[in-house]
Amino acid sequence: MIEIDYTHGYYQELNPLRARLALLFAGLHCPIMDTACELGFGQGMSINLHAAASPVAWHGTDANPAHVAFAREIARAAGSEARLAAEPFAEYAARRDMPEFDFIGLHGVWSWVSAENKALLVDFIRRQLKPGGVVYVSYNTLPGWAAFAPMRHLLVTHAATLGAAGQGIVERIDQALEFTEALLAAKPLFADHHPTAGQKLAQCKRQDRAYLAHEFFTRDWQPMHFAEMAASLAPALLDFACSAHFPDHLDMVNLNQEQRAFLAEIPDPVLREGVRDFFVNQWFRRDYWVKGMRRLPPVRQAELLTEARLVLQTPRAEVGLQVRGVLGTAEMDGRIYGPLLDQLADHRPRSLGQLERSVCTPELTRAHLHEAVRILVAAGHLAPVQEEAAVKRARKHTDRCNAHLLHQAGCSDAVAILVSPVTGGGVPVDRVEQLFLLALTQGRRQPAEWAARAWETLVAEGRQLLREGVALATAADNLDELHALADRFAARRLPVLQALQVV
């Protein structure tokens, strides 16, 4: 077990609302999700936020007792009924007191566990997932990792053989990175044939050591091809549904015309996905799989899309009209996106049917609208919304959860997320913004007061703000920056957080 805690990440793909929207756009049936399970929940941010913000009954396990203690603390604060076990997969899979699940999620698990544990996970899914149920799995993928895999092996070998026994994992990681960087400086022939390996190493040096410890320095680390993943999940009767990563749905910015035509000629879906991974050099997949996949008739798909509700979770002025993909950046047509964003600018939920009636014209068709929505979801600007009754039921739990997280922000920058009952999941809110909100909950109403309160916290921690990557040295400069940030927060971000009922 790695002797360093994992990061406090939130993963939106584990939100059943997002899974439903992805499957709906793919033309697939999605069940009503009443029960869900997250296997290997880490610090428990995703499972806790989803348990607090929705009527779904969440279960899960993680083998790290420190992670489970932290996760249970949040669950108690939120008053949710998340059932969080502290058991390895072998024990958890052997239990017979759990319900069948509509949704099972594994983020950051599959590529980092042994073959024996993979078999346990597949058997658990086979037994516990309802017919029609959905599984989310993320995993490291080939061919994207092909160039760096030998260097990862070198990093781990150095940490294990030359790292001093009394050193912590962070020191051993730093020494392994320095050693490997020196190796590349000696110009090995490997680097000539795999120039991206050096780029990846430089990226690793900039990353959080807790992330690197769990990503690369574990005993098990195995990227695999998509076809191998499909074969692994076949005993659980799972079929590939679609990518859970909405940017993957945007072929126009990820594949050129020749590549799209090439894929269209491949009848087998598994081979087609594998070939697509070569086109984009995929290194990390996030996928939804279904047990007993059913396609929706086009008429029914259109009906359900019309009912889908969405909310703009980015300030209207901050929505750029560009979309990025493997091929680069493409400009979005303002004639389409302008009217759509204007309709959503008040951050109130709208159904796709309402947007069609308000926006569509003979020139701006339903197909244009649906493509625009998909792109805006992929960019993180739009999020699916749950039913109003569910929002009202969740509000007391999300209020309690957010109060707890804001209290933690007064002494720690570990968590950069709050929870919305509207979207049924997490909303990114950075440390400084959380300190502003903490001041607001303490009765300070003006942005200048929020800035002063935030500076008190940062001074006590011996910290300064950064401007364009450079630390601000004086108190006056830090306060000036905080005042500017607080004014911007009051004008742009706070109204959004209020509409999402985070505040």
Is residue 181's pLDDT more than 80?
Answer: yes
Whether 121 contacts 109, CB under 8 Å: yes
pLDDT of 434-457, one tens digit each?
999 999 999 999 999 999 999 999
Give the per-residue pLDDT at 69. Answer: 96
Who's near 449: CB < 8 A, 6+ residues apart? Answer: 439
Q: How many residues does the chain have?
A: 503
pLDDT of 305-342, one tens digit each?
999 999 999 999 999 888 888 988 888 888 889 999 99
Is residue 167's pLDDT more than 80?
Answer: no
Three-class secondary structure assignment of 306-358: HHCEEEECCCHHHCCCEEEECCEEEECCHHHHHHHHHHHCCCCCEEHHHHHHH
Mean pLDDT estimate for the chain: 92
Give the per-residue pLDDT at 1. Answer: 43
The closest of 60, 104, 46, 83 to 424, measured between CA atoms, is 46
What gap in Å lies between CA 435 and CA 453, rounded to an integer? 8
What gap in Å lies between CA 364 and CA 282, rounded to an integer? 33
If you ran DSSP here, which 8-state letter would residue 297 be given?
A: P
Give the per-residue pLDDT at 479. Answer: 94
Whether 90 contacts 56, CB under 8 Å: no
List of domains in the chain? 12-143+222-291 (3.40.50.150), 149-216 (no CATH), 298-384 (no CATH), 391-499 (no CATH)
pLDDT of 277-315, one tens digit each?
999 999 999 999 999 999 999 999 999 999 999 999 999
To the nearest whole percent, how much of the chain has pLDDT over 90?
A: 72
Q: Which residues of 98-112 are buried (b: 16+ CB within 10 A; e: fewer)?
A: beebbbbbbbbbbbb
